Amino acid sequence: MEFISDLMAGYPNLWSGGVAHSVLILALVISIGIVLGKIRVYGVSLGVTWILFVGIFFGHFHLNIDENLLHFLKEFGLILFVYSIGLQVGPGFFSAFKEGGLNLNILASGTVLLSVVTTIVLHFTTGIPITTMVGIMSGAVTNTPGLGAAQQAVSDVTGADAPEIALGYAVAYPLGVVGCILTLLGLRYIFRVDLKREEREAENGNGHQQELTVRPVTIEIHNEAVDGKRIRDILPLINRRFVISRIAGEDGRHGELAGPDTELHLNDRVLVISSPADIEAIKVFFGREVDMSWEEDDAQLISRRILITKPGLNGKTLAQLRIRSNLGATVTRVNRAGVDLVASPQLRIQMGDRVTIVGSELAVSHVERVLGNSMKRLNHPNLLPIFFGIALGCVLGSIPFAFPGIPQPVKLGLAGGPLIVSILISRFGPTYKLITYTTMSANLMIREIGIALFLACVGLGAGEGFMETIVGQRGYVWIGYGALITLVPLLVMGVVGRLWLKLNYYTLIGVLSGATTNPPALAFSSEQTSCDAPAVGYATVYPLTMFLRVLAAQILVLCFL
């Protein structure tokens, strides 16, 4: 049985104990952690964070791998993790700063700022080193990239790793998950929320929901100023984003497709598709809303969703495709990353978009051939933007930026650099004909492999001194400090969001879950309602919050180390 001992403890004559030993340790830590992460207590699970705890357990019993290899795998896993996050959130990052999204992001930024202030106050009042406090803060807000950014900042300044950051993170993380959920429940009782009314308002499209959804409505035209005018001439008059898909009138038109040159007349009925934020103004302008079943009115027209899969279309506007004039069909909406967008002529399409086409069977089939609609083509991985983007991210993360009052130059590091580059590439890449699309499954695979490697290596590195720190250095009191960092910002900003910004409860708890980058809290919030308001709020603030958390962890280390 000597070979089993060598596999677990490592071969003494081989660098890093041997490849088989290193792979075995990592595989066991990750697989056991994933299994334990499926355990739920009262519906709450710590998920992949169990990998960190299993790594600490292995490290405590000296089942470890070479320090240099450990450091490389940890940083590489972090890069994969944050880069995949950037690719996912990038397309919606800048749209999140519209009127409704701006308020939500201000609220989330205030939550980040309060957690930083609480951390600084605890650092000075308790005398706990800033490295430990940053680890506690990252665990209290369940932000793993912040943990990685802090560790790399310490390494840049001192030339050595700081295992106490991971220890603080591990101690504070469980209550960070539970504390956030308890706060969301507490806000419900503090404000005596009527859940049914809040859900009804959320489904009708309140606040930021109005900017991220579209819905169809049938309007009967009573505005005499519209009579006899073409649709292209009306668009500048109302200054709202909308699409008129079909028209039915007294002149014999029944459910016909509408185009830019279609004339509108009094008593015509038109199917308008727009966002809830614009739809009321559109109804007032044209006339009044009526009920009408367009499917029964014209059975010859069909509606079908088609995938954009031809690389040559990436970055083109809908106007450039000329689908209405050349193919006799109409684009009514574009679905990107689960969000329906108004199909305005200036909208640039991207690989992986799903466009809703209305037209005859023949016209829709022609459009399908033009746009591609080939899932096989989408499944082919585009590796260039991934590895080229990672290279650019490493370069950006290594550039020092000098700020007044900070003794050491600030670097975005291997967490911030790839994150920013991936956001920019996924957002602006299609404009320059760069295909950045990756399937959700491929993106999730990269992300999960990255976070698993990172957490396993962090746990293995911190395991040796874990019990001594918790017992000998009264590390258990860190749980209380982490609870303060979790609860104080959420309660304060929850009150601000409800009383000052008048946010819908379900949007508010989604924003607060996103402000702590807390997936278990999002899962809890989503289970409370059938509407998607929590997910929309979470997705709106998540990109900026992630960036601020990474930057805040580094700045704290550089300012107070």
DSSP 173-226: HHHHHHHHHHHHHHHHHHTT--HHHHHHHHHT--TTHHHH--EEEEEEE--GGG
Mean pLDDT to the nearest integer, 407-421: 72
Mean pLDDT of 229-245: 80
Give the Cα separation of 238 and 431 in Å (integer). 28
Element (H, E) at 354: strand 354-360
Quote the DSSP letter at residue 468: I
Is residue 321 exposed (0-12), middle (13-18) or buried (19+ Cβ within 10 Å)? buried
The pLDDT confidence band at residue 546, using thresholds 50, 70 and 90, is: confident
Report the distance separating Cα 333 and Cα 322, nearest Å.
15
Select the highest-mean-pLDDT range: 87-91, 159-163, 392-396, 417-421.
Answer: 392-396
Tell me the sheet residues that pair with 203. Answer: none
Q: In 3-state terms, what secondary structure has residue 305?
A: strand
CA 336 → CA 131, 360, 455, 561, distances in Å?
40, 24, 31, 43
CA distances to 220, 267, 474 from 248, rounded to whole Å, are: 9, 9, 75
Q: Which 8-state DSSP code applies to residue 44?
A: B
Over residues 82-105, mean pLDDT: 70
pLDDT at site 255: 62
Whole-model pTM above 0.85? no
Residue with tokens 């602006």: 428
| Alpha carbons 96 and 39: distance in angstroms, whole number | 34
The pLDDT of residue 206 is 47
Look at residue 375 in the predicted model and tell me its pLDDT.
61
118-127, 163-172, 365-374, 379-388: range with highest mean pLDDT = 118-127
* 411, containing H or E segment: strand 410-411
- Mean pLDDT over 70-95 rounds to 76
Q: What pLDDT score does 496 carry?
A: 93
Sheet of 301-307, strand order: 301-307, 354-360, 330-336, 339-342
Q: What is the pLDDT of residues 279-337, one digit of tens each?
A: 778 888 888 888 877 665 555 667 788 888 777 777 788 778 877 767 777 787 787 75
Angle between helix 99-126 and helix 505-515 axes, rounded to 10 deg = 50
Alpha-carbon distance of 494 to 521, in angstroms, equals 14
pLDDT digits (tens, 9 = 90+) for 343-396: 777 777 777 778 888 777 877 888 888 887 766 655 666 777 788 888 988 888
Assess whether pLDDT exceeds 90 at residue 118. yes
